[in-house]
């Protein structure tokens, strides 16, 4: 059987407030083209379909239009929730997606509760068992009180319980079937790009991760999602992250994006081939915080302005009030502009996050997602304070 493994679409993700809808649509079209050209028997989507748990209508329309086209091509899919997705939201639409042969799993469940799905090949001669493990929040495994107690116990507890869950799913595999595990998790040995699109909380090595030996050898292929850099994981079977569809931020610049074509037959090792996805714009740095580029040098990059997002560090003697405007007159897709520091100029003092309160952290996060000039309104801050108060009250009662 032939599977096309993809993950981490992050539909709805912007770059400094700039829409990437057209790029995301073009990338999904390439996935569909690959699936048709390779006559895939099934598409595997290993989580983080959306960038947020409450995606916009435009994002949902794009994803569900893709699934409709996939159904029209006669290709079923198995889709799981990642840590960016809302698992209950995905489970809510699962009955509708079933009619398109899109088998969706939001919340983690056991093998006897629908976690293992069966998919037949196009010619009906082979069958696959796909065991699904959506993102498991650490709070589902680790008791909060214990988290405040022994330093090392919660991490071990999470890893051990994840291994137990994986072992339980693997027991449903059959020797005469094509056995595949589809999971959204962090493998300890995964290589994560510094400053990449993965959230820091889940990317710290050793924090709520899964040891590579926990990946079941009974699975002929383990299709992973969560890490954005495409890579294989060394373990007792074939396991790989397909990576994100686009370079999601400047931490992923120079990363080539792809999907995995996986050929699996009963009792045989899986064969994996990477297929390029080139639809997205590149993330390009011009200069660095210590060594900028001159304004008159920017014009040489005009020929790729429609194929790139730029982060520009400019070499000017003194601060210029309208520097971003000057740069964007030449490079309209420059989403980050700042003046490079001189060699003898001290770096600006960093404001430690640990010294900031929840409201200040929220304000920085909000502006960081939407870009400068998009600070939260007083009404938004008031709503945040209200929700924060409700959470603190609920924690106190618990």
pLDDT band at residue 368 under the 50/70/90 scheme: low
Q: Is 365 left (phi over 0), alpha (psi -120 to 50) or beta?
A: alpha
Alpha carbon distance 76, 99 (integer Å): 10
Neighbours of 395 (CB within 10 A): 9
pLDDT above 50: residue 328? yes
**Which residues, other chains included, contact 100 with Cβ-Cβ below 8 Å and sequence gap of 6+?**
67, 68, 70, 71
pLDDT above 90: residue 199? no
Strands 102-105 and 42-45: unpaired
**Is the four-CA dihedral 41, 46, 49, 53 of positive or negative sign?**
positive
Bridge partners, residue 234, by sequence: 238
Per-residue pLDDT, averaged over 216-245, amounts to 96
Per-residue pLDDT, averaged over 252-275, amounts to 96
**Which residues, other chains included, contact 292 with Cβ-Cβ below 8 Å and sequence gap of 6+?**
313, 314, 315, 316, 339, 340
**pLDDT, tens only, 279-291:** 999 999 999 999 9
Q: Specify the pLDDT at position 361.
A: 77
More confident residue, 138 or 369: 138
Mean pLDDT of the chain: 87
Per-residue pLDDT, averaged over 98-127, amounts to 95
- For the whole prediction, is pTM greater than 0.75? yes
pLDDT band at residue 392 under the 50/70/90 scheme: very low
**Which residues, other chains included, contact 37 with Cβ-Cβ below 8 Å and sequence gap of 6+?**
none
The answer to whether 34 and 6 are in contact (CB under 8 A) is no
**Which residues, other chains included, contact 250 with Cβ-Cβ below 8 Å and sequence gap of 6+?**
195, 283, 285, 311, 336
Q: Specify the pLDDT at position 147.
A: 40
Q: Edge-to-edge strands of the sheet including 116-120?
A: 116-120, 127-133, 178-184, 221-225, 238-241, 231-234
The answer to whether 254 and 284 are in contact (CB under 8 A) is no
State the distance between the two ends of the chain, measured CA to CA, in whole angstroms: 50
Three-state secondary-structure class, residue 185? coil
pLDDT band at residue 148 under the 50/70/90 scheme: very low
Reference 258, options 244, 268, 248; nearest CA is 244
The answer to whether 169 and 181 are in contact (CB under 8 A) is yes
**Which residues, other chains included, contact 169 with Cβ-Cβ below 8 Å and sequence gap of 6+?**
110, 111, 115, 116, 131, 132, 133, 181, 216
pLDDT above 60: residue 168? yes
Whole-number percent of the chain with pLDDT over 90: 71
Q: Which of 1-5, 145-149, 196-200, 338-342 has the lowest mean pLDDT?
A: 145-149
Q: Which of 118-122, 189-193, 195-199, 264-268 has the lowest mean pLDDT?
A: 195-199
Best-predicted range by mean pLDDT (156-165, 268-277, 364-373): 268-277
Taking every pair of Cα atoms in the chain, the longest distance, rounded to a whole number of angstroms, is 71
Q: How far is CA 387 from CA 115, 187, 196, in A?
A: 34, 33, 29
Three-state secondary-structure class, residue 302? helix
Per-residue pLDDT, averaged over 145-165, amounts to 65
pLDDT above 60: residue 316? yes
- 318, exposed or middle or buried, with CB in 10 Å at 0-12, 13-18, 19+? exposed
Reference 57, options 120, 8, 106, 11; nearest CA is 11
Q: Specify the pLDDT at position 145.
A: 40
Q: Specify the pLDDT at position 159.
A: 84
Alpha carbon distance 35, 21 (integer Å): 21
Whole-number percent of the chain with pLDDT over 70: 83
More confident residue, 276 or 356: 276
More confident residue, 206 or 258: 258
Q: Specify the pLDDT at position 181.
A: 98
**Is the four-CA dihedral 385, 387, 390, 396 of positive or negative sign?**
negative
Per-residue pLDDT, averaged over 260-265, amounts to 98
Orientation of helix 21-37 relative to helix 57-72, angle to 10°? 10
């Amino acid at each position: 059987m032939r599977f096309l493994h993809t993950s981490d679409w992050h539909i709805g993700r912007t770059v400094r407030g700039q829409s990437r809808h057209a790029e995301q649509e073009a990338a999904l079209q390439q996935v569909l083209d690959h699936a048709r050209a390779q006559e895939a028997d099934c598409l595997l989507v290993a989580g983080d379909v959306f960038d947020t748990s409450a995606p916009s209508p435009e994002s949902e329309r794009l994803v569900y239009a893709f699934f409709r086209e996939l159904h029209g091509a006669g290709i079923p899919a198995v889709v799981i929730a990642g840590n960016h997705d809302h698992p209950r939201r995905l489970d809510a639409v699962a009955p509708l997606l079933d009619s398109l042969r899109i088998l969706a799993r939001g919340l983690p469940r056991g093998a006897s509760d629908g976690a293992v799905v069966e998919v037949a090949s196009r010619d009906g001669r082979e069958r696959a068992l796909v065991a699904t493990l959506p993102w498991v929040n650490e709070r589902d495994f680790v008791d909060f009180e214990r988290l405040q107690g022994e330093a090392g116990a919660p991490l071990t507890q999470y890893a051990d319980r994840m291994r137990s869950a994986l072992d339980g799913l693997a027991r449903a595999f059959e020797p005469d079937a094509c056995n595949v595990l589809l999971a959204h998790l962090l493998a300890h040995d995964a290589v994560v790009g510094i400053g990449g699109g993965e959230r820091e909380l889940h990317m710290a090595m050793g924090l709520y991760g899964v040891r590579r030996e926990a990946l079941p050898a009974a699975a002929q292929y383990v299709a992973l999602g969560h890490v954005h850099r495409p890579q294989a994981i060394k373990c007792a079977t074939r396991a790989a992250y397909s990576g994100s569809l686009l370079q999601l931020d400047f931490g992923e610049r120079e990363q080539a994006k792809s999907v995995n074509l996986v050929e699996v037959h009963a009792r045989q090792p899986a064969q994996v081939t990477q297929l390029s996805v080139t639809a997205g714009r590149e993330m390009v740095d011009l200069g660095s915080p210590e060594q900028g580029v001159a304004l008159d040098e920017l014009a040489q990059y005009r020929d790729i302005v429609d194929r790139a997002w730029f982060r520009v560090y400019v070499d000017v003697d003194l601060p210029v009030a309208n520097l971003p405007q000057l740069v964007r007159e030449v490079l309209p897709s420059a989403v980050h502009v700042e003046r490079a520091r001189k060699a003898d100029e001290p770096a600006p003092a960093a404001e430690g996050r640990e010294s900031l309160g929840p409201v200040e952290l929220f304000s920085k996060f909000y502006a960081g997602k939407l870009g400068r000039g998009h600070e939260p309104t007083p009404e938004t801050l008031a709503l945040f304070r209200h929700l924060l108060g409700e959470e603190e009250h609920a924690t106190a009662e618990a």
